Amino acid sequence: MNLAILGAGAWGTALAINLSARHQVTLWTKEAGHLSELMTNRANLSFFPDFPLSDAIYLTASLAEALENTDLVLIVVPVAGFGDILRSIAKINVKAPVIWGCKGFEPKAAKLPHQVVADVFSDNELTCGVISGPSFAEEVARGLPTALTLASENDDFSREMANQLHSKNLRIYTSRDMIGVETGGAIKNVITIAAGISDGMGYGHNARAALITRGLMEITRLGLALGGKMETFMGLAGVGDLLLTCTGDLSRNRRVGLLLAAGKSIGDILNELGHVAEGVHTAQAVLQLSRKLNVNMPITEAVCSILHDGMPARAAVETLLNREPKTEICL
C-alpha cells in the first residue's frame, strides 16, 4: 500500500519508520529546511537522531507530490494545523481515504477533528477515521509492542485499514466511536499535566492514582455529553492512553506539569521542550466545552487556572484538595 504521512514530527516519523517495513511510505514536511535536514542525515535529528530513515521512505515538502497515487493519507500534524491540511487536500482533489492521529480540540472553536473534517468535506465526500491509543512515538519507532484503536463510521474501511496497518508489534483494534476516541485522546493530555504537577510536588503515588481515576471521570463525563460511548473510555483510547501519559517519562505533557511544579513559567517550559505539548492548548477548549455543556471538571479548571490565569501550582492543588466531599461515581 502507498501511504502518505503528513507531518514529520515525532509521531509522523515514528509511523514512517514502523510502517515502511511493510508499505511504501512518503513522509511530508512543510518546512524546506526540515526536508533538507531529513534528506542530508536520513534521520530526524529534532526527534529521533538515533533512528535512521530507510531508503524506502520517500521525503518531500511538496504536498501534491506526497499525495500523488497514494492509497491512504495519514495526517499527524498538531491539531491546530489540521484544518489547513484538510483544505489543501480538498484543493488538490485527492480521493484517497484519510486517517488522522491528531489529539486535541481545534483551538478557536473547540471542535474535535471529525467536526473540522465535516466543515471541509460533505458527509459522503471523504472516507475517514481516527487512530489513537497509548503510544509513545519513540517506542513505536523502536518497534516495541503497541496497541491502538482505529475508529470510523465505515466498518468495512476500518476493518480493511486495521488489517493493512496491523503487524506483530503494532496491534490495531477497530471501533465506530470516533467521538469517544477523539475525546479520550484530547483530554488525557490535560489530566496528564495535573499528574505531572502532583509528581513534581512530591505528593506520591496515592495522589497520582487519585488524579488518574478522577481525571478519567472528567474525560468520561464530557465524552458522554459529546456523544461518545462508555466502553471507549474504558479501553485503549481512554484509560489506556491516560495511564501511559500520566506515568511515562516520555510524556511531554507530564513534563510540562513537572516543570510547572518547579515554578517555571509556561512560556519558558514550552521553549525548553521544543516540541508541541497538546494539553497546554487543549485545556482552555476543554474548559469552554465543559461550561457550555454544564459538565463538572475541577481538575481541568485547576490546570487552566495555572496555565492561563497565573495561579501558582501549589495553590491550585490546594483548591482541589479542599473541595467538599462528594459521591464518587457521579456522571
Active site residues: 188
Cα of 262 vs its chain's centroid, Å: 25
Burial class (CB in 10 A: 0-12, 13-18, 19+), 57: buried
Q: Closest Cα partner for 76 from 103, 94, 54?
A: 103
Burial class (CB in 10 A: 0-12, 13-18, 19+), 181: buried
311: cell is: 495561579
Q: Residue 264 and residue 293: Cα distance in Å, rounded? A: 33
CA dihedral 179, 183, 185, 191 (to 10 degrees): -170
Q: Residue 65 and residue 122: Cα distance in Å, rounded? A: 25
Residue written as cell 536520513? Answer: 42
Residue written as cell 468495512? Answer: 156
Q: Closest Cα partner for 103 from 238, 206, 227, 204?
A: 238
The gap between the terminal CA atoms of the chain, to the nearest Å, is 43
Q: Residue 260 and residue 270: Cα distance in Å, rounded? A: 11
Q: Closest Cα partner for 104 from 286, 239, 247?
A: 286
Which residues, 6+ apart, have CB-to-CB distance to 289 below 8 Å?
105, 110, 222, 226, 295
74: cell is: 495519514
Q: Residue 21 and residue 26: Cα distance in Å, rounded? A: 13
46: cell is: 529534532
Whether the CB-CB separation of 178 and 129 falls below 8 Å is answered with yes
